[in-house]
Amino acid sequence: MYPGCPPAVPGTYTAAQQSGAGMNEDVKILVVDDDPDVLDMVADFLALNAFCVATARNGAQARSAMADSPAQLVLIDRRMPGEDGLSLARHIRENYPAGIIMLTAADGVVDCVLGLEIGADDYITKPFDLRELCARVRSVLRRISSAAAAIGAGRVRFGRCVLDLGSHRMFDESGAEVPVTAMEFDLLQMFSRQPNRVLSRDAILNGLHHRDAGPFDRSIDLHVARLRKKIEPDAEKPQTLKTVRGAGYIFVPERGT
C-alpha cells in the first residue's frame, strides 16, 4: 500500500487523499486483473498519482463497473479465467469511447497484436515499471481528451473520409460518422500535420508513444491497415496512406485539399 492511498475497492473509484494531489475527478481508470497483488499494486500507484481508480478481478465485474460508471481508460489483463482480456476489450471498444491498455505476459507478442487489432490503444508487458505504466496511461488519456488534443475546427480529407480535428470525429462522403479509436485519430492527426513526408515507424511510435519500435513491434502497421479499410476506396491499393518500402508511410492528400 502506498502512503496516502485508501484501499482499492472493486467497482468503487478511489484516489489519493493528499493535499495538492491535483486529482481530476472527471478522469476515471478501471484496472482489470485476476491477480490481487498486481491489481492492488497498480491501483494504489495510480491513486497515488491522483487518478480516480476502480478495480475488477474478472470480466463480469468489469462489465458491471463500466455499466454503472464508465471509465475513460481501462487497463485489462490479457489472460484471466472466465472471459479473457481480448473478449472484454472487444466489448468495451464496441460499447464505450474509453481508451484501452492491454497488460500482457513478456512472451505475449501474439497477444499484443490481437489486442491492437481489436482496437486497444497501447499495451505493456509484465513485469513492468510502474512509472512507465503511468506514463503510458497519461499518454493515452491525452489522446482521448478532445479538449487537450483538438487543434482547431479544421477538417482534413483522407481518401473517402473527412477528419474533423476539432471534434475528434471522422465522416464518410455521405456524412455518416466513421468510428475511430483515440490511437487512430492521433495517427491521422500526425499525418495531417506532415503531408507528403515519409514518416518512419520509429518516428511515429516515438511521437505517439514516446518509445522506439522493437524488432517485433507491428503496432503501427496494424493501425495503418485498419485505417486503410476505413478511408481507402481499395485498401489493397492505398492511395492516401501509402507505404514507402524500407522507409515507412506517407500521407498523400488529394489535389486541391
Return per-residue pLDDT of the chain as tens, 257 residues. 333 444 455 555 555 444 334 444 567 999 999 999 999 999 999 988 888 999 999 999 999 999 988 899 999 998 898 999 999 998 888 778 788 999 987 666 677 777 777 778 888 988 899 999 999 999 888 776 643 344 444 788 999 999 988 788 899 988 899 999 888 998 998 898 888 888 888 888 777 764 544 544 577 888 999 999 999 999 999 999 999 988 889 999 876 55
Provide the 8-state DSSP code for 69: S
* Three cell numbers written together for 138: 497519461
pTM (two decimals): 0.58
Q: Which residues of 95-118 are buried (b: 16+ CB within 10 A; e: fewer)?
A: eeebbbbbbbeeebbebbbbbbbb
- In angstroms, rounded to a whole number, what is the distance separating the alpha carbons of residues 53 and 30? 6
Supply 251's cell numbers.
500521407
Q: Which residues contact 242 (CB under 8 A, 6 or more apart)?
A: 249, 250, 252
Distance CA 27, CA 9 (A): 17
